Structure 1
Amino acid sequence: MSVPNTPVWTIPGGKVSGRGTPKVWQATGLPYASASRWGLPVPVPFSGRDFDAREPSPVCPQVSFPLIDEVLDDLEGRPRTDENCLNLSVTVPAGTSSDAALPVLVWIHGGSYVTGGGDLPIYDPTALVVEQRLIVVSINYRLGLFGYLRHGDAPGNLGLLDQRTALRWVHENIAVFGGDPQHVTVFGESAGGDSVAHLMIAEGTRGLFRRAIVMSAPLGLMSRRDRMYVAMARQVQDLAPDASVDEVLAATDRLQRMSLRYGLRAGMPFGPQYGIDPLPKERDVDDARRSAASIDLLIGHTDREAALFVPPRLGRLPLRPAVRERVVRRLTSRIYGTPARRFAQRHSAAGGHTGRYVLRSKPANGPLAGAHTTDLPLVFPGPAWDSIVRASGPAWHATSDEGRAMRTVLAEFARSGTLDERAHAPVFVHALRS
């Protein structure tokens, strides 16, 4: 049976026109909400109109990230930016019927809460969708000063509120595309993984997702940040609500530099703030996490995350390899490993179905082996990662077998909340436990 390359989905009072290949159908750039600058997200009705969903979602205006910029220029150009960026994209196996009831994975991109976008080519979900026969929803949300600092008229946590609104959209509408709203797993990497961890305890998210996958989240940076946030807010107290986009981005850059005085936390100075809707006060976080035990959790990281951030030289002085390796291992443990283990232990102690993993690196891939982001080409293989390997070395190279193993792990967990540790020994060091 042939499948159309311009799929159409019927919705109440309208239709959605997407784009297709022989492998997948996609509806891109669907608005899930609208918002004024520093305003709360207002859901956009998904009925009573037609949607042309054939263009990639615009991303939030953002500061530059040279490696990603280079890859985008090499492939298809940089994505369009727009403050009106509260859109999502849906990718399904080609030919999926509306009654297929497939499991749904909602992807939250990383980028230190200041950069990135759900439709970037480094997050091409085709292999995951086709191999594992499931649906991937990729979302955009507000970044940097547009979404993550309480100051002036900005209430703070807007990016997290955007994500919650997107999850409500998925719960209410994914059945149109053949998804099962009762089998939604939210997953993300880096700042996206941190977002997932916070959505688990956010007010108003109960029932929106059944499982959570927290990948390479720098949880060790996210506590006791109030002094830094207050200082950052003071620096932009005179920023006008109608400041130009360039002025807001320049302020974002200044705040990132200013935050360096706060040590490790400056590695990701923007992010969710406790005690501001929809999050509890920081002293109440442990109680909130215990109340999230009904959510199945899978959490993990690579074994040398910090290798991406520890340079081989300090100024003109080269770091001896053994010294650099000790620093890499210590920072990886402090920022990623120990917090992930404690997170999993707390979830399990509260009665939650919990699993933890560590992705082992290949020494042959050089000093960046197992570094932060080296898990991404396993999940989202494609030409973008080939470009990164050419530009930055073999650390981001993944074989087809390694990638399929990781995608199988994610899909098994999304479908049933279970894993076969023996089948994925190169990936996992700890199986799920209740």
Structure 2
Amino acid sequence: MTTMQEKGIHTFYTSFGKISALKENGVIRAKSIRYAHSERFKKPEPIDYIESHEIPDKTPVCPQNVSPLLDRLIQKTDVEAFQPEESIQFLTITRPEHFNDDEKLPVIVWIHGGSYEIGCGDLPTSDPSVWVKEQNIIVVSVSYRLGLFGFLGGDEERPANLGLYDIMAALQWIKKYIRDFGGDPKNITLFGQSSGGDAIAHLMISEGIEGLFRRAIIHSAPLGFRLRRQNMSLEFFRKTGILKDESDPLKMVEGYVKFLPSFRKYGLKTSMPFCTQYGYPPLCREEESLEKWKGNAQQYDVLIGSNQDETAFYVKTAQEGIYTYLPHKILNTIVRKTTESIYEKPAKIFAENYAAGGGNIYQFSIQSTLKNNYIGASHCVDLPLIFENKEAWKSAELLKDVPWEYIQENGRKLRALWAEFARTGVISENSERPEVLKLRKV
């Protein structure tokens, strides 16, 4: 591998092809490399070689609805910065600018969240530049099919779990080519938040995943939503059959939304209508899942956990509905009960089952230590700690009344711990802990 520098542009000459990248803020970023291609409702086809890759003007995203809730929670979506792309198999590689060619760096693969419905791998609010520079690591951010295109299926014509197959194709690409970018293909850690963490947990028990990664960092996975979804998924699948031949993918996205109110009878899990589906490749049946995780426990080091007040933003800042009129004490009770049932208890069961199988696993909780923080440590509050980017997070209602210095200080320590785990699979008792973190070896 050779690299050419000129005016902030780097060119990687790799066995995959010639890759143009940007040099900025102390890192080199090879943006939106296509790792595979897919036809609608078909498995991804790997790409083994390209003549050259140029830096795109816009970030490709899977067709999706803009989320008003996410706009408030994190950042207003600038739709002009993105290009809808149904075949969304792209990844972005971020590595340190100053680098010893003889050194092979640990690789962290970022699997974004968004309820399997929204988001992409390459957003300002998941910019890993600070982490990459501080810890001398490589971060690869992966985009994959979402919603109707990736996480709703039920027959051969519309298979389930295509988004999982996309991520697996990305991992195969990374394993094959990351050495050309300075990464160690034998030291790959998957890192995911929310549905991204849920996807990683299920990749650990997927057919065909062997040898593609060593470690997993799972943040805020809604594992409480993974069970007993079959009836809801089947009804959703049948109702959306009328959309499958629509030529405009954006119209498909608009079309499925009208069916969502009819699923309220299925309870809280309705808030995440798309998910991985048991009983369809590459996954086992639901009743086999815990035993599968236990049986695979010695293959992967795992770091799993959640935030103390995961559901607080949704409950306490609801702009409509019953929550608006409830006293704070009742709201706090709702937050605690829903956080426990969706995140904490399922993660505890996962961790103890995994440890019983001989697995190396740590469990963590992130908490707010600020006195006047009404929202507390809600869903996504871990993201600015890892992906420090003051400009990107400045309008996030999630961080209202939270001093940026508090994010910086705790984030720096958390990034160091997570990088230590990615390098070795171990977090030393002597390593400095941020005050927001509780951590235990299970």
Q: Tell whether the structures are fold-level matches, with TM greater than 0.5.
A: yes
1:86-235 alignment, distance < 5 Å: 86-151=89-154, 153-235=157-239
Equivalent position amino acid for 1:180 in 2? D
1:54: Cα distance to partner? 5.1
Check conservation: 1:29, 1:58, Cα contact below 8 A: yes
**Residues 55-105 of structure 1: CA distance to partner in whole angstroms, max 9, x if unpaired?**
554010101112545776587944221112110000000033554210000
TM normalised by structure 1 equals: 0.93
Q: Does 1:289 align with 2:293?
A: yes
Point out the more displaced range, 158-167 or 310-319. Answer: 310-319
Distance 2:295 2:225 in 1: 23
Gaps of 5+ in 2: none
What residue is the counterpart of 1:64 in the other structure?
66
Match 1:11 to one of 9, 14, 29:
14
Distance 1:42 1:11 in 2: 20
Q: Does 1:413 align with 2:415?
A: no
Point out the more displaced range, 243-252 or 199-208. Answer: 243-252
What residue is the counterpart of 1:265 in the other structure?
269
What residue is the counterpart of 1:307 in the other structure?
312
- Say which SS state the counterpart of residue 107 (structure 1) adopts: strand
Equivalent position amino acid for 1:295 in 2? Y
Check conservation: 1:112, 1:190, Cα contact below 8 A: yes
Match 2:349 to one of 339, 342, 362:
342
Point out the more displaced range, 55-64 or 263-272. Answer: 55-64
Distance 1:404 1:99 in 2: 27
The structure-2 alpha-carbon separation of the partners of 1:365 and 1:156, relative to structure 1 and needing over 3 Å to count, comes to farther
Distance 2:43 2:403 in 1: 38
Check conservation: 1:122, 1:384, Cα contact below 8 A: yes
The structure-2 alpha-carbon separation of the partners of 1:178 and 1:317, relative to structure 1 and needing over 3 Å to count, comes to closer
**Residues 100-123 of structure 1: CA distance to partner in whole angstroms, max 9, x if unpaired?**
210000000001111001111110
What residue is the counterpart of 1:84 in the other structure?
87
Gaps of 5+ in 1: none
TM normalised by structure 2 equals: 0.91
What residue is the counterpart of 1:321 in the other structure?
328
**Residues 140-182 of structure 1: CA distance to partner in whole angstroms, max 9, x if unpaired?**
0011101111146210101111011111111111001000010
Point out the more displaced range, 169-178 or 315-324. Answer: 315-324
Distance 1:396 1:253 in 2: 37
- Say which SS state the counterpart of residue 261 (structure 2) adopts: helix
Equivalent position amino acid for 1:424 in 2? R
Distance 1:137 1:13 in 2: 16
Equivalent position amino acid for 1:62 in 2? Q
Distance 1:83 1:431 in 2: 41
1:320: Cα distance to partner? 1.2
**Residues 264-286 of structure 1: CA distance to partner in whole angstroms, max 9, x if unpaired?**
11121101000111111112112
- Say which SS state the counterpart of residue 83 (structure 1) adopts: coil
The structure-2 alpha-carbon separation of the partners of 1:357 and 1:199, relative to structure 1 and needing over 3 Å to count, comes to same
1:306: Cα distance to partner? 1.1
Equivalent position amino acid for 1:416 in 2? T
The structure-2 alpha-carbon separation of the partners of 1:75 and 1:132, relative to structure 1 and needing over 3 Å to count, comes to farther
What residue is the counterpart of 2:359 in the other structure?
352
The structure-2 alpha-carbon separation of the partners of 1:67 and 1:315, relative to structure 1 and needing over 3 Å to count, comes to closer
Check conservation: 1:63, 1:115, Cα contact below 8 A: yes
Match 1:373 to one of 380, 397, 413:
380
Match 1:404 to one of 412, 437, 441:
412
Point out the more displaced range, 256-265 or 84-93. Answer: 256-265
Point out the more displaced range, 378-387 or 250-259. Answer: 250-259
1:409: Cα distance to partner? 1.5
Distance 1:171 1:13 in 2: 12
Distance 1:30 1:36 in 2: 18
1:364: Cα distance to partner? 3.4
1:427: Cα distance to partner? 4.0
What residue is the counterpart of 2:435 in the other structure?
426
**Residues 326-376 of structure 1: CA distance to partner in whole angstroms, max 9, x if unpaired?**
111111111111111111111111001000000011343532111101111
- Say which SS state the counterpart of residue 84 (structure 2) adopts: coil
Aligned length in residues? 430
The structure-2 alpha-carbon separation of the partners of 1:317 and 1:297, relative to structure 1 and needing over 3 Å to count, comes to closer
Check conservation: 1:72, 1:78, Cα contact below 8 A: no
- Say which SS state the counterpart of residue 310 (structure 1) adopts: helix
Point out the more displaced range, 424-433 or 212-221. Answer: 424-433
Check conservation: 2:316, 2:323, Cα contact below 8 A: no
Equivalent position amino acid for 1:246 in 2? L
Check conservation: 2:293, 2:354, Cα contact below 8 A: yes
Equivalent position amino acid for 1:306 in 2? T
